[in-house]
């Protein structure tokens, strides 16, 4: 009888331990949902778009892995007739944008610290805080750093898309300039995983990448699943 009671006690303790372990794990996941406002200046007029993005930061337990980010949401996208679509990408092709920066005489940094911002980095940069502290933020912030941009030409050919940094926008149109990037904490905003109505190039891109797209070595190919729409 004593062995049965001891065994039951052990099972109870194991169950409590497992529940506590899962509770500790759950406290190591932090969410931050925000509205990203993206603004350009074209021929003296402001053009802007916004979208809701959520980042889940899974906090690491060592200094080596501080956190792992997961992104949901869609890009803010600005379409200008005769110029094309310009968006603030969720993620970047690091090799491609590093090559672009070096060509322009800019240093991406040994650890990529000077690269443009991906969607998961934007809140960290805006508030200069770790993921654990972001949920306390309520104020909007205009960033002093810039995102990675993607340009799709006005002919709707996504195969000709380019990753850009803001100083390259005049290469597309000399009267086009980056204006600002603003973060608004919006924890209750509706989160969507697709852009609707979708422009023609995005409809074509969805179909093409669903079937699989070959990427030649050293050539940038826009990635719908990583850079534009994430669920």
If we measure between CA atoms, which residue out of 154, 129, 120 comes closest to residue 230?
120
Tokens 């802007």 belong to residue: 48
Whether 65 maps to a domain, the answer reads yes
Q: Which pLDDT score, from 0 to 100, does residue 15 have?
A: 44
Whether 105 maps to a domain, the answer reads yes
If we measure between CA atoms, which residue out of 125, 106, 96, 71 comes closest to residue 216?
96
Question: How many structural domains does the chain have?
Answer: 1
Asked if the model's pLDDT at residue 14 lies above 50, the reply is no
Cα–Cα separations (whole angstroms), residue 223 to 70, 158, 204: 16, 10, 12
Averaged pLDDT score across all residues of the chain: 87
Mean pLDDT, to the nearest integer, of 119-136? Answer: 94
Whether 73 maps to a domain, the answer reads yes
Residue 96 burial (CB count, 10 A):
16
* Helix locations, the chain, DSSP H: 2-27, 94-103, 121-127, 131-134, 169-172, 200-211
Tokens 């509205």 belong to residue: 35
Whether 81 maps to a domain, the answer reads yes
Q: Which pLDDT score, from 0 to 100, does residue 61 have?
A: 63
> For residue 52, which phi and psi values (nearest 5 degrees)?
-95, 135
Q: Which pLDDT score, from 0 to 100, does residue 193 have?
A: 95
Q: pTM of the entire structure?
A: 0.84
> For residue 169, which phi and psi values (nearest 5 degrees)?
-55, -35
Write the pLDDT tens digit of every residue in 172-182. 999 999 999 99
Asked if the model's pLDDT at residue 217 lies above 80, the reply is no
Mean pLDDT, to the nearest integer, of 37-58? Answer: 97
Write the pLDDT tens digit of every residue in 183-215. 999 999 999 999 999 999 999 999 998 877 666
């Amino acid at each position: 009888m004593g062995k049965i009671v001891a065994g039951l006690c052990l099972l109870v303790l194991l169950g409590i331990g497992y529940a506590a372990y899962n509770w500790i794990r759950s406290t190591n996941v932090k969410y931050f949902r925000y509205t990203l406002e993206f603004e350009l200046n074209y021929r003296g007029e402001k053009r802007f778009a916004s979208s809701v993005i959520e980042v889940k930061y899974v906090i690491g337990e060592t200094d080596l892995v501080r956190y792992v980010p997961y992104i949901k949401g869609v890009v803010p996208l600005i379409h200008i007739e005769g110029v094309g679509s310009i968006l603030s990408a969720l993620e970047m092709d690091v090799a491609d944008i590093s090559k672009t920066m070096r060509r322009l005489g800019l240093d991406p940094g040994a650890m990529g610290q000077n690269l443009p911002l991906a969607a998961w980095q934007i809140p960290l940069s805006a508030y200069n805080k770790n993921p654990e502290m972001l949920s306390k933020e309520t104020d909007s912030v205009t960033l002093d750093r810039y995102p990675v941009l993607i340009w799709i030409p006005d002919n709707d050919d996504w195969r000709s898309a380019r990753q850009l940094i803001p100083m390259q926008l005049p290469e597309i149109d000399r009267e086009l300039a980056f204006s600002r990037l603003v973060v608004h904490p919006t924890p209750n905003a509706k989160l969507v995983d697709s852009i609707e109505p979708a422009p023609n190039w995005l409809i074509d891109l969805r179909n093409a990448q669903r079937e699989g797209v070959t990427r030649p070595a050293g050539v940038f190919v826009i990635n719908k699943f990583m850079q534009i729409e994430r669920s």
